[in-house]
Amino acid sequence: MNKSVAVIDYSVDGLSGELISSWLRVPSVVIKVIEGEQFPSISPDDHIAFIHSGSSHSIVKDSPFMNGAVDFIRLAVDSGVPQMGICYGHQLLARATIGLDAVARCSDVELGWKEVEFLPQWPVSGLNGKKTVWQSHFDCVVKIPEGSVVTATNNHTGIQAFFNRDMNLFGTQFHPEFDRKKGNECFAKDAGLFKEKSIDLDAVLASAPDFHTGQVVFNHFLKTFGLE
């Protein structure tokens, strides 16, 4: 039986996994991490790759599932199974492979459609230069595992993406799963945060990503590790 890509959904509302899965052009399943419960009982050998979703949880605080998630990521690295992390998941990859000092609170939130510079080190050709992507985070990665390269950056968060061939890791601080419609729907639900941070929500909703982030970035993850 052919194995699938597993999307591990850490989102509190339980919606991120399905949104990520919808972009994948290979068989996939969603495994939900339930609020207040331990990490699901899964093995790295069960799937061909894992995608760790974003979350409203803070990476600098422990959750009931944290130890299990860290142990799982380390096992998957040892097994050579590719892993992608998005925002919280990206931070989780760094925390699991380095430790708590690999992550930190940002000086302030990065929120809205924000510009990121994709560097020549991005592992698949065709994505380079400054592009607008969906951002919503208070935490960030400040250290990446030895042998990693930073593949995207901006002035707010220096490590917007990284890649490690030896450990089969692919992380993005930004959220590639959001197109303009889904992204703006999510922003509109968070109107209170925009007001609290004095960010013009109407101006944000008038903006948009300037490339098909879900289609491109997830395809590049699959291409990088030969998963198509």
Q: Is 49 helix (H, G, I), strand (E, B) or coil?
A: strand
pLDDT of 171: 98
Domain 5-224: which CATH number of 1.10.150.20, 3.90.1150.10, 3.40.50.880, 3.40.50.10420: 3.40.50.880
Contact by Cβ (8 Å): 181, 212: no
* pLDDT value for 126: 92
* pLDDT in 10s for each residue of the chain, 228 residues: 479 999 999 999 888 999 999 999 999 999 999 988 999 999 999 999 999 999 999 999 999 999 999 999 999 999 999 999 999 999 999 999 999 999 999 999 999 999 999 999 999 999 999 999 999 999 999 999 999 999 999 999 999 999 999 999 999 999 999 999 999 999 999 999 999 999 999 999 999 999 999 999 999 999 999 998
Tokens 């919280």 — which residue? 88
Coil, strand or helix at 129: strand
Q: What pLDDT sits at residue 197? A: 96
Catalytic residue ranges: 87, 175, 177
Residue 14's pLDDT is what?
Answer: 84
What are the two backbone dihedrals, phi and then psi, of residue 43, each rounded to the nearest 5 degrees? -115, 145
Q: What pLDDT sits at residue 222?
A: 97
- The CA distances from residue 128 to 9, 66, 145, 150, 152, in Å, are 28, 34, 23, 13, 9
Q: Return the sign of the alpha-carbon dihedral for residues 141, 156, 221, 183.
A: positive
Q: Can you give the pLDDT at residue 139?
A: 98
pTM: 0.97
pLDDT of residue 142: 98
- 152 touches 172 (CB < 8 A): yes
Q: Residue ranges per domain, the chain?
A: 5-224
- Residue reference for tokens 């994948």: 24
pLDDT at position 228:
80
